[in-house]
Chains A and B, each alone.
Chain A
């Protein structure tokens, strides 16, 4: 069935470090791909999306490119800030259903 696999955390980085969180997917057809972010005690919020192969989603300095050949959608940011500390979820949409990865916890230390 359809699924998302993302790298396990937790990830701890120093401020201004480079961030990569890996995400790969399995899906029939052509899913849309997403990264969501969850801050403590809150629901998930959409961070960025890509709806077709080779699309690049970007928001708040985060980027991810939809790679059909490697079935991947890795999240990157060139310089993280303390305020980026959160849990990040990779997700795909196929038909009417969303499938989420297990989440990667990121802590950025000053």
Chain B
């Protein structure tokens, strides 16, 4: 049972490039979330999903897209990277009241 896994761990992008942050969970959780964490700040919700085929916007969705074709996977897509998207990205899944977090992806956009 690996829990929530995220790839890559680190990435540097140039402005305007695109990339997909991968997130997989093996706990059969329906609810999954993407957050970003900026230095000295709390987590801001980007998108979430309550099950395969269902996604919804969170607090800061602009510049991102998601899909949820399976229960296990919840990738986050950045289409045109901007310096403002430099952050640490955390994926999480939820069972009941507890969120299980992945180890994070540190993204720098230059």
Contact = CB atoms under 8 A, between A and B. Distances in A.
A32 B98 CA distance: 11
Contacts of B103: 41-43
Interface of A: 4, 32, 34, 36, 41-46, 49, 51, 89, 93, 96-103
B97 to A, nearest CB: 5
Prevailing SS type, chain A contact patch: strand
**Chain B binding surface SS class:** strand
Given A32-B97, A98-B99, A89 B43 contact: yes
25 contacts: A34-B97, A36-B99, A41-B103, A42-B104, A43-B90, A43-B101, A44-B92, A44-B101, A45-B101, A46-B99, A89-B42, A89-B43, A96-B31, A96-B48, A96-B50, A96-B56, A97-B58, A98-B33, A98-B43, A99-B45, A100-B42, A100-B43, A102-B40, A103-B40, A103-B41
Interface string B52-89: 00001010000000000000000000000000000000
Interface of B: 4, 31, 33, 35, 40-43, 45, 48, 50, 56, 58, 90, 92, 97-99, 101-104
